[in-house]
Amino acid sequence: MTAGNQRRQRGFTLIELLVTLMIASIIAIMAVPAFAGFLARQQLASDVNELISVLSFARSEAIKQRSDTTVVFSPPNAATSNRRPKSCRNNEVAEELSDSNGVSTIYRYSDWCYWVVKSDAVDEILRLGQSANITTPDQAFSLTFQSLGDADIGDCRAASSAPCQITLTPQRDDIAPVTLAVNITGSIRRQETAQ
């Protein structure tokens, strides 16, 4: 090959690479907030679906076994002398208290935990779930599904005729909370809350 017949080899210049990287960075910066919102919505949907699954499981077990089945809800940051099931003991804080009766231990936890037990075998955990998004009710409560699928929701509801409403609220303000309503008939309904 002679020097006059050489083809020019093309490549990318440094300026072209820098411009491309700058455009890619701008697109990534715009996409991160949308992706964070997507992740928060997915986490809320996952928590709602898990809670519906646990409640439905408890109701079906009550009907299938012809015995009462209870879903126990334990809130975060509430001092209790009862320990949670082993799988729900993350971030457990144990405090020793002394009083006239002796020394007792009080436990606190960082997230909500709920578990299903048969009423005649309280030590046997059938199913378990956790959520950081439950906001109401804000105290410990339980739902008991009876052998015909009806629910004893007296611990949960605010008024005598109202269903038990469990609201899950994400940490972001731009995502609407979701409320699950459990009626005395045992039905579980999902209600989207308007912002």
Q: What is the pLDDT along the chain (195 residues), one digit of tens a residue?
A: 555 556 676 788 999 999 999 999 999 888 888 888 889 899 999 999 999 999 999 999 999 999 999 999 988 888 787 888 888 887 888 888 777 777 788 888 888 899 999 977 767 889 998 888 888 888 889 999 999 999 998 888 666 667 899 999 988 888 899 999 999 999 999 986 665
List domains and CATH numbers for the chain: 15-191 (3.55.40.10)
pLDDT at residue 17, as a whole number: 92
pLDDT at residue 3, as a whole number: 57
pLDDT at residue 92, as a whole number: 81
The percentage of the chain sitting over the pLDDT mark of 70, rounded to a whole number, equals: 90
pLDDT at residue 149, as a whole number: 92
Q: What is the pLDDT of residues 16-63, one digit of tens each?
A: 999 999 999 999 888 888 888 889 899 999 999 999 999 999 999 999
Q: Which two tokens stand for residue 93?
A: 């804080």
pLDDT at residue 87, as a whole number: 82
pLDDT at residue 81, as a whole number: 77
Task: Give me the phi and psi of 3, to 5 degrees please.
Answer: -65, -25
Task: Please state the pTM of the whole predicted model.
Answer: 0.78
Query: Which of 52, 45, 123, 36 has its CA nearest to residue 85?
Result: 123
